[in-house]
Amino acid sequence: MTEKHMLIRMAVLAGLFGFLFGADTGILAGALPFVRTHFALSEVAEGAIIAAVPFAAVIGVLFAMVSADRVGRKPVLVASACLFSVGALASALAGSTGTLIFSRLLIGAAVGASVFTTPIYLAEIAPAKARGAIVCIFQLMITIGILAAFIAGYGLAADGDWRMMFGLGLIPAVICLAGIVFSPETPRWLVLKNRVDEAHAVLQQTAPDTPQRAISQIIQNISDEHANQKNADSWRHFLTRENLYLTAFCVTGMALAQLSGINVILTYAPKFFEYAGFQGTSSQLLATIGIGATNVLMTFVSIYLVDRLGRRPLLIAGFAGTAASLGVISAAYAIAPASMGYLILAGLLAYIIFFAICLGPITFVYASELFPLALRAKGMALVSLGLWLSNFLLLFAFPPIEAFIGQTGTFALFTAVCVFGFLFAVKYAPEPKGIELEDIDARIAEQRPELAGDCETRPSLNPAE
């Protein structure tokens, strides 16, 4: 098997966790109206079902944070796949609101653990020249999962079969479990545990076209970094200037991307189209499928661009583009939403384009790359906590916020978040494109930037500089 085929195999297997996350996100758009009717849900119960996943994801992150370093990245992914399977089956068989909420909590814990671990797994097992694209596979699989769920929701909507919608998640969960069981552990974690021979074998397996001398050098670099940071895995090391910068940048960037409204738009897309004048469930769900298809196609563009243009320009363009798109939607709702349905649809499509190419994958790439080896799991945990806490707050607060300020105010608020994100990215976003993971923290340390510093103190991570 060639290096290219091996990398594709592992990226797709690990990316299946992204598919499961995306499918769970997207299925609510189709299932929620029928679940609401079946269980006669109150607003509080409906909010609990929607917010159960991001709430439990925090617990999943904390579990993975401890386990990923102790037992390895792969066992955490295996446990996540098991929880996904149980949660999907329990959701399909739920006989009460409480049972459904509990099953959503199981899925949430699996989502939190896998979203935390998968980018680390991919970044640590991929070569530097393809690392950005491979990590973007995770975001691609999220978008494919969302689209698949939208299509399933549309196909099952006529019968109102919400149990089947939830139950279909069991199929990819079982495939994912079978696939990850036969995948290797990451060589960097193996070196971290002094299992150098196994790390060498994994590198030979995942990069069969790489010369033995180059593989030995990679292992030596990993060992050197581990030796230099052997006593640097304490939480107090996040208070150093370099690590404080990395943590603040990654957590803030991830939170701003989520607070731009992506999960609200994906979950409530049919509702927004109803407000925009699209009549009938069928037309609303078809428009929602268009959103999902755009999401998938544009993530392919991101995979192509991330290791060519780099992370920084894509992050800046992403916040600028989403701000403009959301501003157009807010204006359309303010003027005459019923007569501007297609303008709102165009604005939503433009938002999805910029998010799928830029904000969605790039924030995950940054989080998986920038932390030094000894702090990578803890750093990714902090970023994941920022992701899920911002998601939980947004999904929980959205119904009353929308009721108070309406669609115009809601999208204006999302626009403001993206404007702030644009300014933040311009001032602080580094560029780790093409640099080995073991060299990134050293390049940042040369600059030792401060968060409140001038633009000139921004870290230079361009290998050409």
On whether residue 215 sits in a domain, the answer given is: no
Q: Say if residues 330 and 415 touch (Cβ distance below 8 Å).
A: yes
> Considering the domain boundaries, does residue 193 fall inside one?
no
Predicted local distance difference test score (pLDDT) of residue 407: 85
Q: Is 301 exposed, middle or buried (0-12, 13-18, 19+ CB in 10 A)?
A: middle
Report d(CA 73, CA 93) in Å as an integer: 31
Q: How many domains does the chain have?
A: 1
CA 370 to chain centroid:
16
- Burial category of 235 from C-beta neighbours within 10 Å (exposed 0-12, middle 13-18, buried 19 and up): exposed
Number of residues that make up the chain? 465
The label of the residue with tokens 């669609």 reads 407
303 in a structural domain: yes
Which of 422, 74, 406 shows the shortest CA–CA distance to 256? Answer: 422
Distance of CA 230 to the CA centre of its chain: 29
DSSP 263-280: HHHHHSHHHHHHHTT--S
Show the tokens assigned to 428: 């602080």
- Of the candidates 143, 135, 141, the one whose C-alpha atom is nearest the C-alpha of residue 18 is 141
Distance CA 47, CA 399 (A): 8
Residue 70 one-letter amino acid: R
Kindly state whether residue 28 falls inside one of the protein's structural domains: yes
State the DSSP string of 367-403. Answer: HHHSS-GGGHHHHHHHHHHHHHHHHHHHHHHHHHHHH
The CATH number assigned to the domain holding 22 equals 1.20.1250.20
- Domain contains 197: no
Q: Token pair for residue 165?
A: 């919608």
The reply to whether 162 falls in a domain is yes
Q: Which amino acid is at 208?
A: P
User: Is 323 part of any domain?
Assistant: yes
pLDDT in tens, the chain (465 residues): 566 676 677 667 767 878 888 888 788 878 888 898 899 888 778 878 888 999 999 999 888 888 888 899 899 999 999 999 999 999 999 999 999 999 999 999 998 898 888 877 877 877 666 666 666 677 778 888 888 888 888 888 888 889 999 999 898 899 888 888 888 888 888 888 888 888 888 888 777 777 788 788 878 877 776 666 555 556 777 777 777 888 889 999 999 999 999 988 888 877 777 777 777 666 777 778 888 888 888 888 888 887 788 888 999 999 999 999 999 999 988 887 667 778 888 898 899 999 989 998 888 888 877 877 667 778 878 888 888 899 888 887 887 888 888 889 999 999 999 999 999 999 888 876 666 555 666 665 554 444 334 333 333 444 334
- Residue 19's domain spans which residues? 3-183+229-457
Residues 6+ apart with CB under 8 A from 438: 221, 222, 224, 225, 373
Residue 85 lies in a domain: yes
